[in-house]
């Protein structure tokens, strides 16, 4: 059993239980609230919902590392997760409160903004699944942001949401690039297979078919030999969202691209030396080849509609 390291004690809950999941330290805490008012980039929603704090995928570019409890945990992004032990109970209470004030207005919920609700730990603890079960009784508009094939486990629940969009993050069409920028994340093939399984498993006469977005955010390089195939495979979605890197900022509590990703950009200088041109060129290819797919950029792409 892992012990909480001294440098992690600042701003961490006073009551916690530790376990190890692979090389990740997992800390359990009771959350005071689960629904957070949505602002800024996802202000179109009423709330964000983050079942976990921290993320095992630990992608090099992830802005969410900025919201770590302390500086050391920000440096160790990907190696720790805080599990919100009472999440389902709290969510039920908060949704009941919402409906007392808004009896005819289902809430709009974005899950998740600073974690992946289907990171590997979810396969063991099924926290996100328990939250879906709670939400089924309250009929929200729900958007799920993930890069994980584990989401297919919950198709039985997903097909019961009348207003659901699934955003699958696929930032590059090249495995070599993925392994550099996000080596702990699922393969590109596994993510496309997950989308296929969701679309093929839901019978429209028996359930609701979710909207599907592929979020290429941030847009990473795709090797020349992989680009045409990647664009062709994106046609499985009804929306493709592209976005460049967040600006880098070393301050805490600032959504920014981490230094680890900035360093990888040097390896792909053939792309980033003409970054603006390559972004525009890729966007134009999407527009010309994916005629039946919405192509959106940045904030405009993250709404439900």
Whole-model pTM: value is 0.92
Which pLDDT band holds residue 295 (cuts at 50, 70, 90)? very high
pLDDT value, residue 3: 41
pLDDT value, residue 13: 46
**Does residue 11 lie within any of the structural domains?**
no
**Does residue 90 lie within any of the structural domains?**
yes
Residue 300, pLDDT above cutoff 90? yes
**Does residue 8 lie within any of the structural domains?**
no
Give the residue among 56, 115, 51, 55 at the shortest CA–CA distance from 88. Answer: 51
pLDDT digits (tens, 9 = 90+) for 113-161: 999 999 999 999 999 999 999 999 999 999 999 999 999 999 999 999 9
Tell me the C-alpha distance between 254 and 247, whole Å: 10
Which pLDDT band holds residue 12 (cuts at 50, 70, 90)? low
pLDDT value, residue 9: 46
What residue numbers bound the domain in which 102 lies?
Answer: 31-51+86-301
**Does residue 235 lie within any of the structural domains?**
yes
Residue 15, pLDDT above cutoff 90? no
pLDDT digits (tens, 9 = 90+) for 150-207: 999 999 999 999 999 999 999 999 999 999 999 999 999 999 999 999 999 998 888 9
Tell me the C-alpha distance between 46 and 35, whole Å: 9
Give the residue among 84, 165, 93, 175 at the shortest CA–CA distance from 121. Answer: 84
Query: Any idea what the CATH number is for the domain that residue 141 is in?
Result: 3.80.30
b/e map 195-232, b = 16+ CB within 10 Å? beebeeebeeeebeebbbbbbbbbbbbbbeebbeebbe
**Does residue 148 lie within any of the structural domains?**
yes
pLDDT value, residue 260: 77
Residue 215, pLDDT above cutoff 70? yes
**Does residue 71 lie within any of the structural domains?**
no
Phi, psi at 17, each rounded to 5°:
-125, 140
For residue 200 the two structure tokens come to 């093929």
**Does residue 1 lie within any of the structural domains?**
no
pLDDT value, residue 7: 41
Average pLDDT over residues 87-112: 97
pLDDT value, residue 246: 65
pLDDT value, residue 113: 95
pLDDT digits (tens, 9 = 90+) for 20-70: 788 899 999 899 999 999 988 899 999 999 999 999 999 999 989 988 888
Mean pLDDT computed over every residue of the chain: 90
**Does residue 9 lie within any of the structural domains?**
no
- Number of structural domains found in the chain: 1
């Amino acid at each position: 059993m892992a012990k909480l390291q001294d440098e992690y004690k600042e701003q961490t809950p006073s009551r916690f239980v530790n376990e190890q999941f692979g090389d990740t330290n997992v800390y359990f805490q009771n959350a005071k609230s689960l629904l957070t008012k949505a602002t800024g980039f996802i202000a179109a929603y009423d709330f964000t919902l983050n079942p976990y704090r921290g993320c095992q995928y630990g992608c090099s570019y992830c802005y969410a590392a900025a919201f770590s409890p302390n500086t050391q945990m920000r440096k160790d992004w990907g190696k720790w997760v805080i599990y919100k032990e009472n999440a389902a109970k709290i969510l039920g209470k908060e949704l009941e409160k919402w409906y007392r004030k808004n009896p005819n207005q289902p809430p709009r919920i974005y899950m998740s903004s600073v974690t992946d609700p289907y990171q590997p730990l979810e396969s063991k603890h099924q926290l996100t699944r328990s939250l879906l079960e709670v939400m089924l009784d309250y009929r929200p508009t729900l958007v799920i942001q993930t890069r994980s094939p584990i989401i297919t486990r919950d198709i039985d629940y997903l097909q019961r949401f009348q207003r659901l969009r699934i955003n699958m993050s696929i930032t590059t069409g090249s495995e070599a690039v993925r392994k550099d920028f996000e080596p702990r994340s699922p393969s590109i093939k596994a993510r496309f297979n997950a989308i296929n399984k969701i679309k093929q498993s839901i019978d429209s006469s028996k359930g609701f078919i979710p909207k599907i977005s592929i979020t290429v955010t941030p847009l990473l390089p795709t090797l020349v030999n992989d680009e045409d195939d990647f664009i062709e495979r994106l046609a499985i979605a009804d929306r493709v969202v592209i976005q460049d890197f967040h600006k880098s900022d070393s301050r805490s509590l600032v959504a920014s691209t981490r230094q680890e990703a900035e360093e990888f950009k040097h390896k792909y200088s053939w792309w980033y030396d003409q970054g603006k041109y390559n972004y525009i060129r890729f966007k134009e290819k999407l527009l010309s080849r994916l005629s039946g797919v919405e192509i959106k950029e940045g904030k405009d792409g993250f709404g439900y509609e």
